Amino acid sequence: MPVQRLNHAVLYVRDVKRSVQFYADALGFAPIDGMAELRGAAFLRAGGSTNDHDLGLFEVGAGALASPAGRGAVGLYHLAWEVDTLDELERIEGVLSELGALAGATDHGTTKALYAKDPDGLEFEVSWLVPAELLTQDILDSRSTLAPLDLVKDKQRFGGQTRGGVGVSTPVSA
């Protein structure tokens, strides 16, 4: 049986309390009762998740160096979390902007994405995937190009409350 999807992520952070607060404010992650901030670690769950935990945070201290990944060293570039609707993506865009964390917004054709950085400079993505039944050839053809995200236009085309695709949006086979 092949791998189905990412179950959780674990990040090294400088200050676990600061990171718990950031991920709660930015994305609605909540510490798990009985597992919060145990010996410099915290385990959090996303609002709509049934996982044991979706995010683990391990404190390494204020003196920790920034990750050199992508600047001459291998390493993880970013994690991506999906939201159900374009309205939710728009709401999160506002929250990330208020927190000074928003780093970019891109239309990947099949994926509408926000990029942000946490307090330690670790990048993450929040995305909405075009549902398979709404994919058209123009959307599929645009996957190889990057365009600025236009949530107003996308909400007009797809609807603000349309549930996004799960995983990778691919056309439904006949």
Q: Which two tokens stand for residue 80?
A: 């991506």
Q: Is 113 helix (H, G, I), strand (E, B) or coil?
A: strand
Domains of the chain: 9-59 (3.30.720.120), 79-158 (3.10.180.10)
Long-range contacts (CB closer than 8 Å, 24 or more residues apart) made by 148-156: 148/105, 148/106, 148/107, 149/105, 149/106, 149/107, 149/112, 149/113, 149/114, 150/107, 151/86, 151/89, 151/90, 151/93, 151/112, 154/86, 154/107, 154/112, 155/86, 155/87, 155/90
Q: What is the pLDDT of residues 115-151, one digit of tens each?
A: 999 999 999 999 999 998 898 888 888 888 899 999 9
Which amino acid, 82? E
Residues (pLDDT < 50) of the chain are 174
Q: E strands along the chain, which residues?
A: 9-13, 30-31, 41-45, 55-59, 79-82, 102-107, 111-117, 123-129, 147-148
Contact 96, 83 (CB under 8 A): no
What does the pLDDT read at residue 170? 57
Helix (H) or strand (E) holding 65: none
How far apart are the C-alpha atoms of 68 and 70, rounded to whole Å?
6
pTM check: above 0.85: yes
What does the pLDDT read at residue 37? 56
What does the pLDDT read at residue 63? 94
How far apart are the C-alpha atoms of 31 and 23, rounded to whole Å?
10
DSSP letter string over 27-54?
A: H--EEPTTTTTBTTEEEEE-TT--SS-S
